[in-house]
Amino acid sequence: MASLVPSMRRRLPEFLARTSSRPLSTSLRSLRQGPGAGENFQQANDPKPRTLTPNVSKTHETPTDAMGNRDAPLQEIAPEAEKMRTLQAPNRAKPWSRNQMPRELAMTGPRFEQTIIEAQPAPLAAIELIHKQPVRWVNDKRVACDGGGGPLGHPRIYINVDKPLAKTEHKKYLESQPHTAYPLAPTGDPMQIEMPASPTQKGEIQGQYPHMRGEQLAQSVGDTAFEQR
């Protein structure tokens, strides 16, 4: 036992130096990395950044047979296709989220050079469509929304409307404003979507009456539309 004491004394400084250096290396590693694994905040300096080049092939302007898919031949004009490729959506030019990749960076490479952009699915941007929908006026300070219920709905969420947005008591104030983010009444815009009637939907759109529960049940029984009051 006495022989172990001198050897432990000799190894103690080496052990302390080894343990004191570990937190330092860990902290340096955490400084280099971001919140995600392997994410690096120190981006490499690129003196010659990559320039965006058109990705639509010029050969698409030559009409080709659609092989029975459609009557007209497949043809695409390069400038028009390049504009469609860079748009984030047919009704949206730029991304609406920080972590969203622009289409001109994502839709590149040989795969998209051989693709006719006009023939691909191009859904409209919901962030633009929501500003086309008329306001649903409510009287309560809190409303619940479940997306209409059913398989196309979503879990019920509760929204506080204590601010002057869509409450009936603030209707005159909103109508006096020169511009509002949402239409206060139906404008006849083709982008407006008639929401399915649901007993859980509160409030009403100006000029329209909400369905009562009896009307909702009557519509779900027969195939013909139930006359609203």
Q: Tell me the C-alpha distance between 102 and 124, whole Å.
A: 15
**Residue 169 structure tokens:** 């008591």
Q: How much is the pLDDT for 39?
A: 47
* pLDDT, tens digit (0-9, with 9 covering 90-100), for 132-188: 888 878 787 777 777 666 666 678 888 777 666 677 888 888 889 898 888 888 888
Q: How much is the pLDDT for 1?
A: 53
Q: How much is the pLDDT for 51?
A: 72
**Residue 90 structure tokens:** 């047919």
Place of tokens 């139930």: 226
For residue 229, pLDDT beyond 50: no
For residue 64, pLDDT beyond 80: no
Mean pLDDT of 56-63: 73
Place of tokens 């649901």: 198
* pLDDT, tens digit (0-9, with 9 covering 90-100), for 179-215: 888 888 888 888 877 665 555 556 667 666 555 445 4
Q: Give the per-residue SS3 of 67-122.
A: CCCCCCCECCCHHHHHHHHHCCECCECCCCCCCCCCHHHHCCCHHHHCCCHHHCCC
Q: How much is the pLDDT for 182?
A: 84
